[in-house]
């Protein structure tokens, strides 16, 4: 596969970009809303580096936009490639984490999910770089945040 060039992006359907971004943001936001932290989460012991609750919404919105754009870019050049498969896998794990952690109240199981998600994200970065360096780069902030989230999830599980 060749490296993605800006000229080839011109032929990619913009409607697909909108669907990728809006789909990721809407589904991610809906899951966040439906599994919003409640009394159970408030009662948990948290490490000193736990961010304030208001941070999560804006951070995830920005990350979901980056995730959607990256997925669209890879889809335009390699819709059946390994990078696209990894994009779908990490997205499924992303959307699974909140129900496992908040709704099922299972921080240890959620730790397994977030660790698998981090592995899929890193693998996506490696594979996407082969077809679209920008898509790969768009996942770097996401990888950093999920690495932090993995440590946070593990700390909360250990403290409780």
Containing domain of residue 104, as a range? 6-40+52-159
DSSP 54: G
User: Does residue 87 fall inside a structural domain?
Assistant: yes
Per-residue pLDDT, 3: 54
User: Does residue 14 fall inside a structural domain?
Assistant: yes
Query: What is the rounded average pLDDT for all residues in the chain?
Result: 93
Average pLDDT over residues 100-121: 98
Per-residue pLDDT, 13: 86
Helix (H, G, I), strand (E, B) or coil at 10: coil
d(CA 81, CA 78): 5
Per-residue pLDDT, 9: 54
User: Does residue 1 fall inside a structural domain?
Assistant: no
Per-residue pLDDT, 24: 97
Distance of CA 105 to the CA centre of its chain: 20
In the chain, the number of structural domains is 1
6, pLDDT greater than 90 = no
User: Does residue 27 fall inside a structural domain?
Assistant: yes
pTM above 0.85, yes or no: yes
Average pLDDT over residues 106-113: 98
User: Does residue 34 fall inside a structural domain?
Assistant: yes
2, pLDDT greater than 90 = no
User: Does residue 15 fall inside a structural domain?
Assistant: yes
DSSP 53: G
Q: Which of 30, 14, 144, 140 is nearest to 75 (CA)?
A: 14
Q: What is the pLDDT of residues 95-109, one digit of tens each?
A: 999 999 999 999 999
Percentage with pLDDT > 90 across the chain: 91
């Amino acid at each position: 596969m060749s490296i993605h060039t800006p000229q080839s992006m011109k032929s990619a359907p913009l409607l697909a970009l909108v669907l990728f971004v809006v789909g990721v943001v809407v589904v991610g936001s809906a899951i966040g809303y439906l599994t919003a932290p409640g009394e159970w989460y408030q009662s948990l012991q948290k490490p000193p580096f736990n961010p304030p609750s208001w941070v999560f919404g804006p951070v995830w919105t920005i990350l979901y936009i980056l995730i959607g754009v990256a997925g669209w870019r890879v889809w335009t050049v390699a819709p059946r490639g390994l990078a696209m498969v990894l994009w779908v896998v990490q997205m499924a794990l992303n959307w699974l984490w909140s129900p496992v952690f908040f709704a099922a109240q299972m921080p240890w199981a959620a730790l397994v999910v977030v660790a698998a998600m981090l592995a899929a994200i890193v693998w996506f970065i490696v594979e996407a770089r082969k077809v679209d360096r920008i898509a790969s780069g768009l996942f770097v902030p996401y990888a950093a945040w999920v690495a932090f989230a993995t440590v946070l999830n593990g700390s909360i599980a250990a403290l409780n």
